[in-house]
Amino acid sequence: MTYPGNQNELKEFLDSRLERYNRQSFIELDPISIPHLFSKREDVEIMAFMASILAWGQRVTILNKCKSLIQLFEEEPFRFISEASDAELKQLERFKHRTFNAEDLLYFVRFLRFVYQSRGSLENAFFNGLEGKENKVELALNQFRESFISHSGFPSRTGKHISAPSKKSACKRLNMFLRWMVRKDKMGVDFGIWNMVSPSELICPCDLHVDRVARKLGLIQRPQTDWLTAIELTENLRIFDPNDPVKYDLALFGLGVEGEL
């Protein structure tokens, strides 16, 4: 197919695909379906965070690994992370997904326990102290990584699983996680349970599908894919909806997965 050739037509095209893909029936095989298995706020954000971190490779494998992790967390992620003894934590040693291994998982669990004990919420770990700041998401991602790598017992190998703009990364998985937590609409795909940053401030995740489709639609010109690419895409999407530009991530991703372009 050919894609629309001007801004108004492109907006209409993306809005029509957003209507098609921003629905719960489309996310059954998507990692966001994992936190939808829970209702408690802490369980939702923990499993959303872990699902986003593990979200690379085939989607079926990602979902299976996330469900294995839920079982290792004894179906109660927040309780397990908060209360598990050293003996109980040993059961995590059999977990592995691609380059994410048991050493990484054990550190993530210890760090999340620290976050909830010292900050009260994962939202605070990202955004506390950034009220009124510009480029809030960029600052939050850098702040979060610094906290993550500075916690006691940090294994150097684990740092690769938490990206940051300061490392010139597009931060696709963490931007996806923030979209899940922050965006609010009536369709019930994203959770909208975080309020310290607005949907208008989010940055679009640049995963493989989104990047490819956005380039075909002329929404990305930058040759490489890095943080500035994510900014470029978001600024172009902001023309279509300045209050919620990242909603179009759902349309771009759906177009990529379905192979419509």
**Residue 146 reports pLDDT greater than 50:** yes
Structure confidence by residue, pLDDT tens digits, 55-65: 998 999 999 99
- Report how far residue 132's alpha carbon sits from residue 116's, in angstroms, rounded to the nearest whole number: 24
**Helix, strand, coil % (nearest 5) of the chain?**
60, 0, 35
Structure confidence by residue, pLDDT tens digits, 6-52: 889 999 999 999 999 999 999 999 999 999 999 999 999 999 999 99
What pLDDT is stored for residue 5 in this prediction?
61
Burial of 215 (0-12, 13-18, 19+ CB in 10 A): middle
- Report how far residue 185's alpha carbon sits from residue 202's, in angstroms, rounded to the nearest whole number: 15
Burial 142-165 (b: 16+ CB within 10 A, else e): bbbbebbeeeeeeeeebbebbbbb
- Report how far residue 126's alpha carbon sits from residue 180's, in angstroms, rounded to the nearest whole number: 14
Whether the CB-CB separation of 179 and 205 falls below 8 Å is answered with yes
**What's the whole-model pTM score?**
0.96
DSSP 3: P
